[in-house]
C-alpha cells in the first residue's frame, strides 16, 4: 500500500471467536477434514509400502539412493567432505564428472539412517515424503476454501494407481511435488521473493526444477492479461534461484553437463531414444491414459468444461492450473514418468475451475483492493445460502465422494470379486522382487575363500550384463566397480562404441567375448541374472575363455580366464561319487563364506 493508503483508518478487526464457537464453526470442521486427510494418506502409503519387504515398488533405484545417502553420511560425518563416486567409471558418472542431481534428497534420507537399517530407512522415508506430497496437494484445496474437502480428498486418492505406485518408490519425485506446490502458493499469494530460495533448493534436490520456472512463466502471462502490465518478479526470482542453484553447487560444472545430457536424450521431440531405456521413459497410448487414469482424465475434461472467463478477465487460479496441467498432460504422451505429476494436478485444475465457475457474479473491484479486503470478505468462497438446489448439490457431492471411496478400496484390493482380472495395488506390490535378491552372490563376491584370498579382489570391475541390476549390486557390494547402471544412456553418451559392443556381447552375437570384456571393459568377472543372458553365458563357457565362479538361482558370476582353456561343462554334473562329494563340499564352503561375509547391517534382517 502507498503512503496515502497507510494513513486511512484501519479496518475494524473481526471479533475473536471463543473456543466453543470455533469448535462449532465450519473452520473447525474443515481443519478436522484436513487432519483426517493427513492421517489417511500416511496410512495408505504405509500400507502399500509394507506389502513387500523390499523397497517399493518394482524399481530398484531406491537401493542406490539409500546406499549413497549412507556413504554421504559416513564421509561427511567423518570430516572427509563429499565421497568420490568410483562405481561407474566408464559412464558420464565417472569420478571426474559425477553429479548428484538428487543431492538434497539424499541428505534428507540421512536422518532416517540414524534410527533404522538402510532398507527400513528408505521405506519409512518414502512413506514420509509420499505422505507430505499427497498432503500438500490436499492442503492447497484447504487453503483456498474449496468446498466439499473430503470429496476432493477421495478424488486425489483415486486420481491414478500409478501415482501412488510411484510415490512409494523411495525416489525424489514426492519432493518435486512439495516444491511445486510451495512455488504455486507463493505465486498465488504474490510472495515472489520466496521463489528465489525455493528454486535454489529445488535445483539441489532434483533435475525437474524447470517445472517451477514454467509455473512462473504461466503466472506472468496471466497477470499480464488480467492487469495489462508486465510483472517481472516471478520470472526474475525463479531465474535467479535457478542460476544460483546451478552455479553455487558442490558439483559445478558437472551438474550442468548431466542436466544437458538428461534434457537432450529424454526430452528431445520427434525422435525415439538412442538406446533402450527403462519402461518409465516410454509414453502411454491414448487408450492407456483413459484406462489407467480414469479419474484424472475425467477431472481434466470437467475442468475444461467448467472453465469460464468473466468480463474479459481470466480466473487466476483456474487459468494457472489449466495451462500448467495441460503441459503435464502433453508430457504424459511423451513419458510415463509424468504419472507422478499429472494426476493430482488434474484434480486441482477441476477443483479450482469449478470453484471459479460457482463464484457469484459481483461488482468487479481492482485486484489490489480485493486482495486487501480478502480476509474480511472471504471473496473466494461461493455462498450457497438460499439456493433451492443446495440440498441436491450437497447430496450429489457426498454421493460422488462415496463412489470414489469405494473405487479407491477396490483399486487397493483388486476387482476379482467382480470377475474382472485386474490386480489391486497391494497385490502388484506384493509381487515385487525379493529384498534379498543378489545378496548371496554379492556376499560371495566380497568374501574370502578357504585360502584367505578375496574371491574377487577389491577394486576389480564387474561386467554387469544388465544396467538395471546396478542399484542392487551397488547396495550389497561397494568393493567393486561396474560397467554401467542407473541409465544406459550414461554409458552411451560417454562412449557410444563401447555401448554398442556391450549390446553385441550381452545378446550373444560376439564370439570369444572373454578377451574383449577384459581388454575393452577392464573386467575379469561377469555378473548376470540367473534367468537372463543365457546365450551370452553359453557362448562364454563354450569358448573356453570363461568359467563359472559362483552360481545360484538368482545370479551367476563368471570368471574370465587369463588364457583360453577347455570349454566349461554346462551342467557340471558329477560323473562319480567322489566328484559329487567334492561339489557338495564346495557348495557348503561357498554358503558358509556367503553368510560370514554378509554386511553387518543386514544381520538382523536374516535372523
Exposure of 205 by Cβ count < 10 A (0-12 exposed, 13-18 middle, 19+ buried)?
buried
Cα–Cα dist 545/567, whole Å: 8
Q: 245 and 124, same structural domain? A: yes
In a domain, 167, yes or no: yes
In a domain, 66, yes or no: no
Q: 285 and 144, same structural domain? A: yes
476-492: per-residue pLDDT in tens?
A: 999 999 999 988 888 98
Q: 447 and 393, same structural domain? A: no
Cα–Cα dist 471/165, whole Å: 19
Q: 530 and 416, same structural domain? A: no
Cα–Cα dist 289/444, whole Å: 45
In a domain, 277, yes or no: yes
pLDDT of residue 4: 43
Residue 604 has pLDDT above 50, yes or no: no
Q: 355 and 210, same structural domain? A: yes
Range of the domain at 206: 17-51+99-426
pLDDT of residue 35: 94
In a domain, 93, yes or no: no
CA 326 to chain centre: 21
Q: 195 and 114, same structural domain? A: yes
441-477: per-residue pLDDT in tens?
A: 999 999 998 888 999 999 999 999 999 999 999 999 9
Higher pLDDT, 593 or 50: 50
pLDDT of residue 510: 87
Report the number of distinct structural domains present in the chain.
2
Q: Residue 307 in contact with residue 357, Cβ under 8 Å?
A: yes
- Does the pTM surpass 0.85? The reply is no
Q: 466 and 391, same structural domain? A: no
Cα–Cα dist 463/485, whole Å: 11
Q: Which of 426, 461, 492 is the last residue of a domain?
A: 426
Cα–Cα dist 140/2, whole Å: 30
Q: Which of 395, 426, 457 is the last residue of a domain?
A: 426
Q: Is 48 helix (H, G, I), strand (E, B) or coil?
A: helix
Q: Which of 7-21, 64-78, 307-321 has the lowest mean pLDDT?
A: 7-21
Q: 331 and 219, same structural domain? A: yes
Cα–Cα dist 496/261, whole Å: 14
Q: 467 and 599, same structural domain? A: yes
Q: 522 and 416, same structural domain? A: no
Q: How far is CA 1 from CA 6, 8, 159, 226, in A?
A: 6, 11, 42, 20
> Mean pLDDT for the chain?
83
Provide the pLDDT confidence category of residue 72 given band limits of 50, 70 and 90: very high
Q: Residue 352 in contact with residue 188, Cβ under 8 Å?
A: no
pLDDT of residue 493: 86
Q: 461 and 414, same structural domain? A: no
Given CA atoms 228, 233, 234, 239 in this order, what sign does their dihedral have?
Answer: positive
Q: What percent of the chain has pLDDT over 70?
A: 79
Q: 364 and 303, same structural domain? A: yes
In a domain, 57, yes or no: no
Q: Residue 99 in contact with residue 258, Cβ under 8 Å?
A: yes
Q: Which of 426, 454, 477 is the last residue of a domain?
A: 426
What backbone torsions phi and psi does residue 414 show, to the nearest 5 degrees?
A: 105, 170
In a domain, 74, yes or no: no
Amino acid at each position: 500500500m502507498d503512503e496515502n493508503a497507510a494513513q486511512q483508518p484501519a479496518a475494524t478487526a473481526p471479533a475473536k471467536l471463543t473456543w466453543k464457537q470455533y469448535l462449532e464453526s465450519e473452520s473447525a470442521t474443515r481443519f478436522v477434514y484436513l487432519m483426517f486427510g493427513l492421517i489417511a494418506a500416511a496410512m495408505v502409503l504405509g500400507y502399500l509400502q509394507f506389502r513387500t519387504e523390499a523397497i517399493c515398488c518394482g524399481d530398484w533405484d531406491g537401493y542406490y539412493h539409500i546406499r549413497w545417502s549412507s556413504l554421504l553420511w559416513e564421509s561427511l560425518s567423518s570430516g572427509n567432505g563429499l565421497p568420490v563416486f568410483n562405481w561407474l567409471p566408464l559412464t558420464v558418472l565417472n569420478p571426474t564428472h559425477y553429479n548428484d542431481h538428487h543431492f538434497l534428497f539424499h541428505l534428507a534420507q540421512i536422518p532416517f539412517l540414524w534410527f533404522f537399517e538402510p532398507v527400513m530407512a528408505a521405506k519409512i522415508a518414502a512413506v514420509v515424503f509420499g505422505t507430505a506430497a499427497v498432503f500438500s496437494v490436499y492442503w492447497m484445496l484447504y487453503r483456498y476454501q474449496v468446498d466439499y474437502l473430503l470429496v476432493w480428498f477421495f478424488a486425489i486418492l483415486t486420481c491414478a494407481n500409478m501415482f501412488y505406485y510411484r510415490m512409494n518408490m523411495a525416489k525424489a519425485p514426492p519432493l518435486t511435488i512439495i516444491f511445486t506446490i510451495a512455488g504455486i502458493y507463493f505465486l498465488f499469494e504474490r510472495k515472489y521473493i520466496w521463489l528465489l530460495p525455493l528454486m535454489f533448493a529445488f535445483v539441489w534436490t532434483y533435475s525437474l526444477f524447470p517445472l517451477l520456472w514454467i509455473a512462473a512463466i504461466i503466472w506472468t502471462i496471466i497477470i499480464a492479461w488480467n492487469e495489462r502490465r508486465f510483472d517481472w518478479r516471478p520470472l526474475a526470482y525463479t531465474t535467479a534461484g535457478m542460476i544460483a542453484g546451478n552455479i553455487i553447487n558442490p558439483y559445478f560444472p558437472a551438474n550442468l553437463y548431466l542436466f544437458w545430457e538428461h534434457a537432450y536424450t529424454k526430452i528431445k521431440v520427434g525422435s525415439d531414444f538412442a538406446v533402450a531405456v527403462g519402461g518409465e521413459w516410454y509414453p502411454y497410448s491414448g487408450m492407456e491414459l483413459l484406462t489407467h487414469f480414469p479419474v484424472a482424465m475425467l477431472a481434466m475434461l470437467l475442468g475444461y468444461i467448467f472453465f469460464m472467463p468473466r468480463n474479459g478477465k481470466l480466473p487466476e487460479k483456474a487459468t494457472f492450473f489449466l495451462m500448467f496441467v495441460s503441459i503435464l498432460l502433453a508430457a504424459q504422451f511423451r513419458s510415463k514418468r509424468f504419472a507422478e505429476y499429472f494426476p493430482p494436478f488434474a484434480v486441482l485444475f477441476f477443483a479450482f475451475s469449478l470453484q471459479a465457475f460457482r463464484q457469484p457474479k459481483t461488482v468487479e473491484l481492482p485486484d489490489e483492493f480485493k486482495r486487501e479486503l480478502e480476509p474480511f470478505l472471504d471473496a473466494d468462497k461461493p455462498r450457497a445460502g438460499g439456493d433451492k438446489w443446495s440440498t441436491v448439490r450437497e447430496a450429489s457431492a457426498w454421493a460422488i465422494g462415496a463412489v470414489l471411496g469405494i473405487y479407491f478400496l477396490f483399486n487397493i484390493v483388486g476387482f476379482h470379486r467382480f470377475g474382472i482380472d485386474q490386480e489391486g495395488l497391494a497385490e502388484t506390490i506384493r509381487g515385487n522382487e525379493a529384498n534379498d535378491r543378489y545378496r548371496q552372490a554379492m556376499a560371495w563376491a566380497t568374501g574370502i575363500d578357504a585360502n584367505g584370498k578375496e574371491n574377487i579382489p577389491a577394486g576389480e570391475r564387474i561386467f554387469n550384463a544388465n544396467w538395471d541390476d546396478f542399484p542392487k549390486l551397488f547396495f550389497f557390494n561397494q568393493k567393486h566397480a561396474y560397467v554401467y547402471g542407473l541409465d544406459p544412456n550414461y554409458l552411451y553418451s560417454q562412449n557410444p562404441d563401447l555401448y554398442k559392443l556391450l549390446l553385441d556381447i550381452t545378446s550373444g552375437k560376439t564370439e570369444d567375448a572373454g578377451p574383449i570384456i577384459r581388454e575393452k571393459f577392464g573386467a575379469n568377472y561377469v555378473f548376470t541374472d540367473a534367468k537372463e543372458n543365457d546365450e551370452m553365458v553359453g557362448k562364454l563357457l563354450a569358448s573356453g575363455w570363461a568359467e563359472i565362479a559362483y552360481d545360484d538361482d538368482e545370479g551367476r558370476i563368471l570368471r574370465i580366464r587369463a588364457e583360453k582353456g577347455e570349454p566349461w561343462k554346462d551342467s557340471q554334473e558329477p560323473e562319480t561319487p567322489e566328484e559329487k562329494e567334492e561339489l557338495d563340499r564346495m557348495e557348503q564352503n561357498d554358503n558358509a563364506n556367503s553368510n560370514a561375509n554378509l554386511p553387518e547391517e543386514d544381520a538382523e534382517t536374516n535372523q
